[in-house]
Structure 1
Amino acid sequence: MADVFPAVASPLRPPDRQGAMRTAARMAESALAVEGVATGNREFGDWYAGRVREDVAEVRRIALAELSGWHSEPGTGNLVHDSGRFFSVEGLAAEYVDGGARGWEQPVIRQPEIGILGLVAREFGGVLHFLMQAKNEPGNHNGVQLSPTVQATRSNYSRVHRGASVPYLEFFQRPERHRVLADSLQSEQGSWFAGKRNRNIVVEVAEEFEAGESFRWLTLGQIHRLLAEDDVINMDARSVLACLPFGGADASVTAPTAVLRSCADGTGAVHSTGEVLSWLAGLRAGSDLSVRRVPLDGVRGWKRTEESVAHEDGRFFRVIGVDVRASGREVRQWTQPLIEPVAQGVVAFLVAEIGGVVHALVNARTQAGLIDKVELAPTVQCVPSNYAQAPGAPQLRFLDEVLGAPAERVLFDSRLSEEGGRFHHAVNRYLIVDWHGDHRIEDDTFRWVALHQLAGLLRHGHYLNIEARSLVACLHSLAGGRRATGTGEEAPAR
C-alpha cells in the first residue's frame, strides 16, 4: 500500500469528540431553559399577540383563470408562473411495474429549486437561543406562526418577485464564516411535491446584532413549550429543529430525563444503525414504483372546474387559487395556486423505553414524490376519512391504538399546520403515544429506532420524511420530562 500511496504529511483533523459532546450538552441546557434570557415569557406573549394583530393577511379564493402572473400551459393545462420560476402544478402518474391494477394519478407541485430553511443561534447568558420569525403565510388558517430565521425559496431570495430582500439571508449564503451546527438537504411532503428539497441549516453566530421587529430570540425550552400549543410553531421551523445536534453526548454522562439520556450516543438500540440502514436500502432497491409526469388536464380520476382541480369522489385534496394581500411580507399583493386537503390528518409515533432507551416505531413509507421513493415515516400517517370513504379500504395499522390510547399514555398531542406557503389550511393532529404492549410488532416495513439513531440519521438528508421530522422535534420537546397535550402539562407515566 505504501508503494501506491506514498506517505505525506497528514492534513486530517482528529474527530472532535469533545466538541460534539459539548454541543449536545448545550442543546440540553437550552431545552431545559423554559425562561429566556434574551426574551422573557411575558415579553414574548405580548410581542406575539402584537404580531398577530398587526401582521394580517386577507386571503380570498379566486378562480384558477384569475391567477395573475400565472397561466395554463398550452397542451398540458399545467399551472405555470409567467417567470418560469417559483413552482408549477402538473400531473403525476405512479404505477407498480409488476402490472395489475395498482397505481394512481394525481396533481402535484413541482418546485425544483432548493430553498433555505435557516435558523440562527447565539448565546445569551451562557444559554443558546434561536432567532425565530413571526410570519403570516397565505395558507395558515390562524394567521401568524413562528418560522425559522430564514424561510425562502431561491426565487424569493433572488427577488424574482421584485420584493424586499430577505432579512439575515447572509448568514446562510456564507455559513462557513460561522459555526455550522446542522446542515442537510431534506425532503418535503412526498404526497404533494415532486422531488422537493430544502436546505435545513443552523448556524451559531458570535457577533451582536439587533433583531428586527418580526423576530425574537428564544431558548429551546421556550420553543418546546410553544410546540405543545396548536398552530404556533410552523412546519419549516419543526423541520430545522429536528435536525439540531442533540446526539453526540457520552452515554456515561447522567441526563435528567429519559429523552435526553436516549439522545446520547452509545446507549444501545434494538437494531444497530447499520441494520436500520441496510433494511431501508433494501426496501429502496426493491421498490418497483415507477413515476412519470403527465399533463394536469389529463390526470385520471380528477376533474377541473373554474374553481379547482379536485378528485372525482371528493377525497384527498383540491388545487385552488387565492388572492393574497399581506402587510408583513416582501411583496404586499400576489396570487397563487394552493393545495387544500379535504380533512384533518393524524400523524403519530408509538414510542417505548426499551432497555432504558426511548425508541420510536417508524414505518418505511413509499411516497411517489420522494427522490428515493422510500423514507422513514411516523407509525401512523394518514387522513382517516380518505379511507373511510373508499370501497374495500384497508385497515390502517396502529390507528386504533393511537386514537384509543388512555390519556395517561399520550405524551404529546397538538394540532399543527403544514407549510402555509403551498398548502391551504393543512392541519394534522400530531401525537406521541407511550406503547405498553409487546415490542415484537415489527414486520417488513416497521422497525423500532432509538432516539439517538434518529438524531444521527438527521445529520444527513432523505432518511426521515417531513412528518417524521416534525415528530422528532415534538419528541425533543419532552426533554424537560413533562407531557405536552395542549390542555396542561404533567409528569409522564413513564
Structure 2
Amino acid sequence: MHIEQIELDFLISAISQGNVISTDKVLAWMKQQNDEVVSNIRQIPLEEVRNWSYREDRLRHDSGKFFSIDGIRITTNYLDVSTWDQPIINQPEIGFLGFITKKIGGVVHFLAQAKIEPGNLNIVQLSPTLQATRSNFMQVHGGKKPNYLDYFNGVRKVRVLVDQLQSEQGARFLQKRNRNIIVEISENEEIEVKENFIWLSLGQFKELMRYPNVVNMDSRTVISCIRFGNYSEHSLKMMSAFLKLNTKSDDQLIYSMLSHNNHLHELEEIIQWMTSLKFKYELDVEKIGISKMNNWIYDGNTIHHEANKYFDVIGVRCEIANREVVSWDQPMVRSAQHGLMGFLVKKINGIYHFLVQAKLESGNFDIVEMAPTVQCLTGNYRKGLNEYTIPYLEYFMNASKENIWYSTYQSEEGGRFFQEQNLNTIVEVGDDFPVEVDLNYCWMTLNQILSFVTYNNYLNIAARSLLSAISFVK
C-alpha cells in the first residue's frame, strides 16, 4: 500500500465517529469497566517491596530485569540551573506500544483495550492493543503471554502502517524508548475481540481525549505518530468544503495540518535550529548511588527530596484481577503536584503555527527534544517558586476562555507513575504576540511538526500527547 493511501485512510478515520459503537456508549462501557474492576492498590515502604532489593546503592528487581531506580548527577549549561542530582527510572529495554487496525465499513478502526494500571487515577483507561515491556512479553514475571502479541512479533502476517522508536518522559526515564507500531489486518480477516477490547475510529479517540483520564498516555503517543499527508491547494479547498458540511471545521487548522506550504520557516531551517542547539548545550549524566545524591533522602520508606518537592519514589502493592500477573509489588514515581504542558498557537500568513520549544531533560537521548511551548512537571509554577524562568507561562495562566482550544487533565503512564496527571492545553494568541521569539523556540505548522514524528528523538512525549488530541474540529 502506498504511503499516500495509508495517510488518506487515517485522515478518513480521524473525521469519522466510528461504525461499531457510539462515543457515548464507549464512555458508558468505560464506566462499567471501572465499576466492575477488582483491584487493591496501596502504598507500602520501599524496603517491604517483594522481589525488589536495595543493592549496589540502587533499587533493583531480583531478576535483574524490568527496571531499576538509580541516582544520577546532571551537569549542563542549559538555562539557569547548571547541576542537580535526582533519582531516575533506568529501563534500557525497548517495549511494544501497538495497535491492530482493520477497516470496518471502509473506515480504519483501532482495537483498544480497557486496561488497568496500578498508577491510573481511575484504574481503567483506554490503552493500545498491546502495551508490554520486553520483560513482560518474554514472560520474566512468570505470567501469561500478552494478548495479540503474535500480530506484532512477526508470527502473524500483517501490514505495518507505522513503526517508530519514540522517547519516553525525559525527566523521569534514562534514555528510554518504546516501539510505537500500528499494524493492519485484512477487512476479511476474522479476529477474536477479547473481553475488555473494543474497536474505535481515530475520530472517536480524539473526541475521548477531551475527557480527563480516559485515553492513556501510551495510546496518545502511538496516535501522535500518525501523519495525514500533504495535499494540493485544490484538494484542500474541496476537503475544507466537505468538512464544513458535516463539522465545525477551521480552514486555517486544516491547512496547518495538511499543507506543506505557507510556513514561516523551511524544514531545513528548523533542522538547523535543532542541530545548533544540540551543539550549543551540554548534558553530562553521571550515574551515582542513591545515597550519594545531594538533597535527596532514602529512609527505607520512600526516596524523596529534602524539601518534599518535584517527586518521590514509593513502594506499591498491586492486586488486579485481569492482569497477566494478579499480584505484585513495585516502586513507582509519585509527583508532588500536577503539572502543565501547553502549546501557544498563532496565525502567521493565515496559517496556524505552533510555538515549539527545544527542551533539555536529564534522561534525553540526544540532549534536546522538541517540546510544547510550556512544560512544567510540578506545581511550583503556580506559586512562582521555580528554579528557572519559564517563558510564556503567563499566556496560559491568564488565558481567556475564548482563546482556549483544548484544556483537560491527562494521566501519565500508569505503569510507572502513581496517580500523576498534568493539564494539557492549547491556547491561541493574537496579532499582538510577536513573531520573533526566544532562541530556544520556533514557530512551526502542524504539518511540519508531524514530519518529525517519522524520526527518532525529535518530539518529546509531552508534545506528542498534545498533538494526539488535535482534531480537524477546533
- Structure 2 length normalisation: TM-score? 0.92
Whether contact under 8 Å (2:116, 2:124) holds in the other structure is yes
Q: Name the SS of the counterpart of 1:263 in structure 2.
A: helix
| 1:136-147 alignment runs, 5 A limit | 136-147=116-127
Q: Which residue in the other structure is 2:190 paired with? A: 208
Paired residues of 1:387 and 1:393 also in contact (CA < 8 A): no
Matched, 1:51 2:33: yes
Partner of 1:440: 435
1:123 aligns with 2:103: yes
Query: Equivalent residue for 1:287?
Result: 281
What's 2:50 paired with? 68
Partner of 2:178: 198
Which consecutive residues of structure 2, in runs of 5 or more, have no partner in the other structure?
A: 241-248
Q: Deviation string for 1:309-338 (max 9, x for gaps)?
A: 100111100000000000121100000000
State the alpha-carbon separation in 2 of the partners of residues 102 and 27 from structure 1: 44
Secondary structure in 1 aligned to 2:337?
Answer: coil
Corresponding position of 1:85: 65
Determine the C-alpha separation between the residues in 2 that align with 1:112 and 1:232: 28
1:156 aligns with 2:151: no
**Hey, what does 2:4 align to over in structure 1?**
21
Verify: 1:31 aligned to 2:14, yes or no: yes
Q: Which amino acid aligns with 2:72?
A: L
SS of 1:440's equivalent in the other structure is coil
Which consecutive residues of structure 1, in runs of 5 or more, have no partner in the other structure? Answer: 1-15, 483-494
Change (3 A) 1:158 1:101: closer
Give 1:367's aligned residue: 361
**Which aligned pairs between 1:267-416 and structure 2 lie closer than 5 A?**
267-383=261-377, 385-387=379-381, 393-416=387-410
Q: 1:113 aligns with which of 85, 88, 93?
A: 93
Q: 2: CA distance between counterparts of 1:107 and 1:386?
A: 19
Question: Partner letter of residue 58 of structure 1?
Answer: N
Residues 249 and 263 of structure 1 are in contact (CA less than 8 Å); yes or no, is this contact kept in structure 2? no
The one-character-per-residue Cα deviations of 1:32-80 (angstroms, maximum 9, x if unpaired) are 112x212233542342222112233211111111110000014x1x100
Residue equivalent to 2:423: 429
Letter in 2 for 1:287: Y
Deviations 1:256-309 (CA, angstroms, capped at 9, x unpaired):
343333222423311111111111011112222211111112111101122201
Alpha-carbon contact 1:28-1:246 (below 8 Å) kept: yes
RMSD: 2.0
Equivalent residue for 1:469? 464
Equivalent residues of 1:267, 1:357 under 8 A apart: no
Asked whether the equivalents of residues 16 and 203 of structure 2 are also in contact (C-alpha less than 8 Å), the reply is: yes
Distance of 2:282 and 2:177 partners within structure 1: 23
* Residue identity opposite 2:453 in structure 1: L
Match of 1:226 among 205, 208, 229: 208
Query: What are the superposed Cα offsets for residues 168-201 of structure 1, whole Å, 9 maximum, x if unpaired?
Result: 1111112993222211101011100001000011
In structure 2, which of residues 418, 441, 444 is the aligned counterpart of residue 449 of structure 1?
A: 444
Say which SS state the counterpart of residue 234 (structure 2) adopts.
coil
Whether the 8 Å CA contact 1:175–1:203 is kept in 2: the answer is: no
CA distance in 2, matches of 1:379, 1:97: 20
1:388 to 1:454, Cα distance in 2 relative to 1, 3 A: closer
Relative to structure 1, is the Cα distance of residues 371 and 285 closer, same or farther in structure 2, using a 3 angstrom cutoff? same
379-388 vs 318-327, which moves further = 379-388
2:244 is matched with: none
Question: What SS does structure 2 have at the residue aligned with 1:105?
Answer: strand
Matched to 1:333, the amino acid is S
Q: 2-side partners of 1:42 and 1:351: how far apart?
A: 30
Q: Is the 1:238–1:473 Cα contact (8 Å) retained in structure 2?
A: yes
**CA positional deviation for 1:449:** 1.1
Deviation of residue 388 (structure 1)? Answer: 6.4
The CA distance in 2 between the partners of 1:159 and 1:117, in whole Å, is 16
Matched to 2:127, the amino acid is S
When the two structures are aligned, how many residues end up with a matched partner? 458
Identity percentage over the alignment? 37
Instruction: Show CA shifts across 1:395-433 (max 9, x none).
Output: 321111012111011000110000000000111000001
* Most deviating of 412-421 and 428-437: 428-437
Describe the shift of the 1:251–1:173 C-alpha distance in structure 2 as closer, same or farther (beyond 3 A): farther
